[in-house]
A and B are shown apart, each in its own frame.
Chain A
């Protein structure tokens, strides 16, 4: 006990004396710099100042073309490319039931809402179709309605699974269908009390037996109490047949997107790490998810670096904490991940695309772009490459915020933008370009 006390005292000393911002350091890769924890009286904040795209569009690498294939959506988050090339879009906005417990919750909620769209979430799935393959998605229908903040999508053995903010549901799906044949069946309830981090990400095992659901924590760092964190900050494995679940991996603060590695069948996640430890702590990350693994939250970060804010402390758990594979940078808010394919062009053929929604609690904004993390031998390696940028204009105003990214095996990256309520499609220039907006 005494040793723990001494350790927390040391860490508190860091908290008290860690003032002044260090210069921006290496924030990406397998071994990011971890500066001292710091938090002044007022947290650093820079909220997105939204404006329209006008005639602008995101910037993509030379040899690639970008166009909007759907606009005027109702808060698009994640997308799914169906076998026939149709695109399904989950639209919604959840987390409205989280009670405001402190004066801070009211003030912060008001400020943060300014950086997001004022459109009400659609609670629906929209389907887009490009019938003749010219890159213009002329067909658009509402596939399903009256969902509850749908987010994660997966197609397994002729069934479409949708992760609502409170339940996992199943639609039957036939190729070419443009509207669900009826209301969905519930597979299982998902943890939804409070629902501070409400998004439920979804991926399926290669054999289709299991679904994986990413469930975010109910707080930044347990400030709603430990009881609120039961069944939170973890990835569930759900049996498709029975709906039975078990924790697959724990300690992932907010696993906002999941993807299964083609060929290897390994589950990967992007996760958003904790706030209020300074502008360069703690890095959001991309990691392979090990069964039974504990990734630190709330007791430690980036492996075994103790966070003294979580009480009571658990040195026994910290000792088992796994260091994630690849740091994406602090506060970038990674919300989408998708494995690439050779159809995306040689430079981007092996690796993952990551959608970064962008920071709010950092004086110099980061994120607000889609990056490509190259892989070699099945592991991430090297620096991230910007793939779609320009979401924040030269005027400092924010035009869009990327969320879900999905690779279309025909050779396109689909990007959901939940600020401008647009779906973007990036193609290598040899491909049929996406049509003009709308």
Chain B
């Protein structure tokens, strides 16, 4: 279940980034609407994953350094993702260019968190 939540985060934030790119290129507002909803979806899944990860951090005797890094990356994804949602609440082209830049950062953070997360989840299973 933890893996399902974690895995959902990347496509949502990545989708938001792609939508932002499409808006920046086409100036068609619908892409910006898509990005707004994808970011909300990303925040929801990222937030649930974060809660799960925090709980697990205290329950499993995993390598502490990796666990802290994982939770830290999730937290950063969540917080900056939320800021990105606020940026995307601006009207029309006011979203640009900050929205696109922050979407790149959030997508990169989500990928890093998932990477670290899955390697530590696997470590947890094979323990």
Contacts and interface: CB of A to CB of B under 8 A. Distances in A.
Interface of A: 12, 15-16, 39, 41-42, 101-104, 219-226, 275-276, 308-312
Contact of A103 (B29, B40, B92, B94): B40
Given A41-B83, A41-B87, A311-B27, A221 B33 contact: no
The B contact surface, by secondary structure, is: helix
Nearest to B87: A41
B37 A225 contact: no
Nearest to B35: A102
A103 B85 CA distance: 9
Contacts of A222: 29, 91-92
Given A16-B98, A102-B33, A102-B36, A276 B91 contact: yes
B94 A276 contact: yes
Contact of A221 (B28, B36, B85, B92): B92
Interface in B75-108: 83, 85-94, 96-98
A41 B87 CA distance: 6
18 contacts: A12-B97, A15-B94, A39-B94, A41-B87, A42-B86, A102-B33, A102-B36, A103-B37, A104-B89, A221-B94, A222-B91, A275-B91, A308-B94, A309-B91, A310-B92, A311-B92, A311-B93, A312-B27
Interface residues of B, number: 23
A101 B92 contact: no
A220 B96 CA distance: 17
A223 B86 contact: no
Most chain A C-beta atoms within 10 Å of own C-beta, residue among B33, B36, B86, B88:
B33
Nearest to A310: B92
Contacts of B30: 225
A150 to B, nearest CB: 29
A110 B32 CA distance: 22
A42 B83 CA distance: 10
Interface in B38-86: 40, 83, 85-86
B37 A309 contact: no
Contacts of B32: 223
Contacts of A16: 98
B92 A309 contact: yes
B38 to A, nearest CB: 11
Contacts of A12: 96-97
Contacts of B97: 12
A318 to B, nearest CB: 15
A54 B27 CA distance: 52
Contacts of B88: 102
Nearest to A312: B27
Contacts of A221: 91-92, 94
B86 A41 contact: yes
